[in-house]
Amino acid sequence: MNIIFLMILVFGGYIAMYHLYGKFIARKIFAMADNADVPSLRYEDGMDYVPSRKEVIFGHHFTSIAGTGPIVGPAIAIIWGWVPAVLWVFLGSVFMGAVHDFGSLIISLRNDGKSLSEFTARYINHRTRFLFFAVVFLELWIVIAIFGLVIAIIFAIFPSSVIPVWLEIPIAMALGYLIKKGKGNLTIMSLVALVLMYLSIGIAYIYQLELPKEILGIPSTGVWTIILLIYAYFASVLPVTALLQPRDYINSHQLIVAMALLTLGAVAASLGGMTLVAPAVQFHPDGAPSMFPFLFITIACGAISGFHSLVSSGTSSKQVSNEKDSLFIGYGGMLTEGALAFLVIIAVAAGIGMGSQELTGKAAWDAHYFSWSATEGLGANISAFVHGSSNMMEALGIGRTIAIAIMGVFIASFASTTLDSATRIQRYVVAEIFESMGAKKLGNRHIATLIAVASGAALAFITGADGKGALKLWPIFGVVNQTLAALGLIVITIYLREKGGVKWIVSGIPAVFMSLITVYAGIVNNVNYFQASNYLLAFTQGVIILIVLWIIIEGILRFLKAGRLHS
C-alpha cells in the first residue's frame, strides 16, 4: 500500500472520528455541561487541585499516559504484520481507548476528582473497592519500580539524552514560576523553554554524561534507579504547577516536533521510494505466541491501556477547570497517542527498510524481526524505532546523529514523565486507602509518597543492587494493565446504565471484549508459567484472574440491578 495514502487515511480518520464519535459521546452520552461544578474549583489548594488551561492539562495528560508504551508495544507487535497493528491502533483507540480515558475522566470529575478504585464503591459496591485497590496498587507498584530501570537503560542507549532530561527540570520550574506569577505569554515562554531544551542537546552531544559501571559496588542501573526514585519523591510532593505541569507542557511541544518530523520524514522518504517492508499479516512468527489474544495485550498504549484511567481519574481530573475541556484532554489525548503509535508502526514497518549498516529492504526488517526472541528487551524495541525514524528524518536532510539525539531525548523525557505521574497517583491511592480506613493523617502527601517510593524501591532491589527486581513481575504487567482497562470500562458501563436507556452500549461492548481478552490471555500465560515452574508469576496472576472474575460478577449483578430500576 502507498504509505502517503495510508497516512492520509489514518490521520484523516482520527480527525473525523474526534468530531463525529467523540463529540457524539461527549454531548449525547455523557451530556457535558459548560457550567458543571468541577473538583479543581471546589477544592482548589494550589497543590493537587489546580484549575488550569486545557492546553496545559493536555500536555500533562498526554505525556503521562504515553511514556514508552506507544513505542515499545507497536515495535513488538509489528512481528504479526502491519495490517493488524494499524487496525488495532486505529479501531482500538477510537472505540475503546478514547471512550475508556474520556469516561474515566468525566466520572472522576463528577466524583470529587477521586480515583477509579475509589468511585468503584459507589457504582458497584464497597467489596469491589478494595479488590480494585489491589489491582491498581499492583500496577503502579510495578510501574514505579520498573521505570527507574527503564530510564537507566534509555540513558545507556542514548547518553546524549541525560543532560537534556535533567536540565529540563530547572527550565520547567522556571516556566512554572513565570506562569504562576502571570509574567509573559504562555505560548512564547513555552517555546523559549523548548528551544533551551534543544540547545541542551547540543551541549550533551559534546559532553555526554555516562555513569561508571559501578559506584560503591552498585551497578549503574541501580544508581540511576535510586536517583530517579529520590527525584520522584520530590516531584510528587511539589505543587503540580511547580514541576509536573510545566515539564509536561514542554514535553507536549516535544511531541509536536517529533510527530511533525516523523510525518514529514515519512512523506519525503515515501516520495524517495520508501515502501512497507514488513509483512502485511504474519500469523505464525518464529517463537511468537498466538496473535489472538496477545496482539491486544502487546499494543496497549496506542489502542487502550488501563494505566490511562489512573491518570484520567488521578492527576488530570484535579486540574480540569471546565467539564467541556475533558473531550479534548481525554478523547483527544488518546487519539493523539494512537497517531503516535501509527507513526511508530510506519517507522518499524517501512523506515527500517531504508538501511541499517549493510542491509536494506526486507533484509533490514528481518534482521530485527527474524524471531520473537529477537524483539525481546527494551533496547531491541527502541532500536528498531530509532533506526526507522532516523532513516525517515534523514530524508529531510537531518543528520542521523542529530535525529537519534532528538528521538533519544523524546523517549527519555516521556519515560520520566510517566515515573513522575505514577508516583503522584500512587500517593493518591495510598491516601484514599488510609482515608477509607479512618486514618486520614497517615495519608498526608509526605507519608503517602514515602510509601509509594519505598515500596517501589523494595521491589526494584529485591533481587540485588542492580535495580532489576521488578523484572520478576514484569511479564504479568501487560495482562494486569489490560485487566484494569476492562475493569474501568465495566465501571463506566454501570455508570451509564444507571443513567437509563442504552447509552451504556458505547462502553459495554468494549468492556465485554477486553474482559474476554484479558481473562483468556491470563489463563494462557498461567498455563505457560506452570509448565515453566514459574510459580511466583503463576500465583500472582492467578490471584489477579480471580479478582477480575469477582469484579466482573459483581459488575454484572449491579448492571442487572440498575436495569431493573429503570424497567
User: What digits encode the pLDDT tens for the residues 111-136?
Assistant: 999 988 888 888 988 888 888 899 99
- Mean pLDDT of the 341-348 span: 97
pLDDT digits (tens, 9 = 90+) for 252-296: 999 999 999 999 999 999 999 899 999 999 998 988 999 999 999
Residue 19, judged by CB atoms within 10 A of its CB (0-12, 13-18, 19+), counts as exposed
Dihedral, 395, 400, 403, 408 alpha carbons, nearest 10:
140
Residue 64 near residue 417, CB atoms below 8 Å: yes
Least confident interval from 58-67, 201-210, 224-233, 332-341: 201-210
Instruction: Report how far apart, in Å, the C-alpha atoms of 15 and of each of 27, 29, 184, 483 are.
Output: 17, 20, 32, 28
Answer for the pair 292, 284: CB distance below 8 angstroms, yes or no. Answer: no
pLDDT of residue 448: 95
User: In the chain, what percentage of residues exceed pLDDT 70?
Assistant: 98
Mean of the pLDDT values across residues 383-390? 90
Residue 507 has pLDDT above 80, yes or no: yes
Q: Which residue has the cell 484514599?
A: 432
Cell 534507579, located at residue? 225
In the chain, the amino acid numbered 367 is A
Q: Is the pTM of this model over 0.85?
A: yes
Distance, CA of 125 to CA of 104 (rounded, Å): 17
pLDDT, tens digit, 9 for 90 and up, residues 206-242:
777 788 888 989 999 999 999 999 999 999 999 999 9
Are 76 and 383 spatial neighbours (Cβ–Cβ below 8 Å)?
no
> What is the rounded distance in angstroms from the CA atom of residue 334 to the CA atom of residue 388?
24
Give the DSSP H/E element, type plus range, for residue 386: helix 378-394
| Backbone φ, ψ for residue 504 (5° rounding) | -65, -15
As a whole number, the mean pLDDT across the chain is: 91
**pLDDT of res. 487:** 93
Q: Could you tell me the domains of the chain?
A: 3-470 (1.10.4160)
**What's the CA dihedral at 511, 71, 538, 308 to 10 degrees?**
-40
Backbone torsions φ then ψ of 194, nearest 5 degrees: -65, -45
Cβ-contact 44, 50 below 8 angstroms: yes
By the 8 A CB rule, do 140 and 452 touch?
yes
